[in-house]
């Protein structure tokens, strides 16, 4: 399996990459290539130009910026999964990274690339939604910040414009009383491969009650999305087992669940409940 022919450009700076992108409409950015290359081999995508950002220095760091962590465009899943900063301050993201693909995929694929790719069953997407992250996009015209809640538009479709490169992911650091978790059922069983259903939960506890929460589903609908039913139910509750069960019951409220090769609508709606319960349980434990 070979991709169709394409021109390959590997710019040494971000500005150069943005200029090439601006002058080549339809060009594709490549970071880890773990989704782009398979799609090109299957000829689902045949861009005339591939812009490999893999050689641009300075994009591979995870930085502590006080109230948030900044994850550069070339930070690999493996790096996110094993980072002390991410594990401590954004646990759901580290867990999602650790459960993405296999070792070889995690050594190449990037956290930011997975967000840009916006697969409906990706792991990282749910984590960034639940954590309330912000995407930083750059084009030759300037820089734009996109909240995670506005980023995922549809299957494989994000709010990113054709001439933009996602340069950084900003994840608010979980502080006092805040915690998060990600759990999933994988397509190959257990936690292996893309999510049949995956749930990321973030909670804040103040004086014994849940004062704020975000619960995000992946693999269940056409894109990663927040579960407003579960969030409404858990916010203001005492976070007890009964409250978690009540929130889980409302996991798929108002969500159009999509059946696929891995499960019927009913099954997926059921899994959404099971995994909301587990993710909230883990975040509140």
Partner 1 sequence: MEVSLTVNGRNVSSDVEPRTLLVHLLREDLDLTGTHVGCESGYCGACTVHLDGKPVKSCTMLAVQAEGADITTIEGLANGELHAVQEGFWERHGLQCGYCTPGMIMSAAGMLAENDSPSEGEIKHGIEGNLCRCTGYHNIVKAIEYAAAKMRGDEPAEPEWEVSS
Ligand X SMILES: Cc1cc2nc3c(=O)[nH]c(=O)nc-3n(C[C@H](O)[C@H](O)[C@H](O)COP(=O)(O)OP(=O)(O)OC[C@H]3O[C@@H](n4cnc5c(N)ncnc54)[C@H](O)[C@@H]3O)c2cc1C
Partner whose footprint covers residue 178, from partner 1, ligand X, none (CB < 5 to 8 Å by kind): none
Partner whose footprint covers residue 31, from ligand X, partner 1, none (CB < 5 to 8 Å by kind): ligand X
For residues 148 and 224, give the distance between their C-alpha atoms in angstroms, rounded to a whole number. 10
Minimum CB distance to partner 1 smaller for 78 or for 225: 78
Q: Shortest distance, CB of residue 237 to ligand X, whole angstroms?
A: 30
DSSP assigned state of 236 = T
Residues lying near ligand X in the complex (CB under 6 A) are found at 28-36, 38, 73, 100-101, 105, 109-110, 112-114, 116-117, 119, 122-124, 160, 165-166, 193-194
Residue 13 engages partner 1 in binding (rule: CB under 8 A): no
Partner whose footprint covers residue 41, from partner 1, ligand X, none (CB < 5 to 8 Å by kind): partner 1
Minimum CB distance to partner 1 smaller for 21 or for 171: 21
Which residues are 143's β-sheet partners? Answer: 138
For residues 227 and 259, give the distance between their C-alpha atoms in angstroms, rounded to a whole number. 18
Residue 44 engages partner 1 in binding (rule: CB under 8 A): no
Partner whose footprint covers residue 112, from ligand X, partner 1, none (CB < 5 to 8 Å by kind): ligand X
Cα 267 to Cα 1, 256, 262: the distances in Å are 35, 13, 9
Q: Which residues contact 255 (CB under 8 A, 6 or more apart)?
A: 217, 220, 221, 225, 227, 229, 272
Q: Shortest distance, CB of residue 34 to ligand X, whole angstroms?
A: 3
Which residues are 199's β-sheet partners? Answer: 183, 217
Near partner 1 in 228-257, by CB under 8 A: none
Q: Shortest distance, CB of residue 28 to partner 1, whole angstroms?
A: 12
Strand pairing class (68-72; 62-64)? antiparallel
Note whether 256 and 266 are within 8 A (CB): no
Q: Which of 14, 22, 37, 156 binds partner 1 (CB under 8 A)?
A: 37
For residues 207 and 267, give the distance between their C-alpha atoms in angstroms, rounded to a whole number. 37
Note whether 187 and 171 are within 8 A (CB): no
Stretch in the footprint of partner 1 (CB under 8 A) among 37-45, 111-119, 174-182, 258-266: 37-45
DSSP E strands, the chain: 7-9, 28-30, 49-52, 62-64, 68-72, 134-139, 142-147, 152-154, 157-158, 165-172, 178-186, 195-206, 209-218, 225-226
Partner whose footprint covers residue 117, from ligand X, partner 1, none (CB < 5 to 8 Å by kind): ligand X
Site for partner 1, rule CB under 8 A: 1-8, 10, 30, 33-34, 37-38, 40-42, 50, 52, 54-55, 78, 101-105, 107-108, 192
């Amino acid at each position: 399996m070979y991709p169709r022919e394409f021109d390959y450009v590997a710019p040494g700076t971000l500005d150069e990459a943005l200029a090439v992108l601006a002058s080549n409409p339809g060009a594709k950015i490549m970071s880890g290539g773990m989704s782009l290359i398979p799609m090109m081999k299957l000829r689902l995508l045949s861009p005339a130009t591939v812009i490999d950002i893999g050689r641009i220095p300075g994009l591979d760091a995870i930085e502590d910026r006080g109230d948030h962590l900044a994850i550069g465009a070339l930070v690999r899943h493996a790096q996110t999964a094993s980072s002390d900063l991410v594990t401590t301050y954004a646990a759901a993201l580290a867990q999602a990274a650790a459960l993405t693909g296999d070792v070889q995929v995690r050594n190449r694929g990037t956290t930011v690339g997975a967000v840009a790719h916006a697969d409906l069953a990706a792991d990282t997407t749910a984590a960034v939604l639940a954590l309330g992250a912000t995407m930083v996009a750059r084009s030759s015209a300037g820089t734009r910040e996109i909240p995670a809640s506005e980023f995922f538009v549809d299957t494989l479709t994000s709010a990113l414009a054709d001439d933009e490169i996602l340069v950084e992911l900003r994840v608010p650091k979980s502080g006092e009383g805040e915690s998060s978790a990600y759990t999933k059922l994988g397509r190959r069983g257990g936690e292996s491969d893309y999510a049949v259903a995956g749930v990321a939960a973030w909670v804040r506890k103040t004086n014994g009650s849940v004062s704020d929460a975000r619960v995000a589903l992946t693999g269940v609908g056409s894109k990663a999305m927040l579960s407003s039913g579960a969030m409404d139910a858990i916010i203001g509750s005492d976070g007890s087992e009964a409250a978690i069960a009540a929130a889980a019951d409302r996991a798929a409220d108002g969500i159009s669940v999509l059946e696929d090769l891995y499960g019927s609508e009913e099954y997926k709606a059921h899994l959404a409940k099971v995994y909301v319960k587990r993710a909230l349980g883990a975040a509140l434990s």
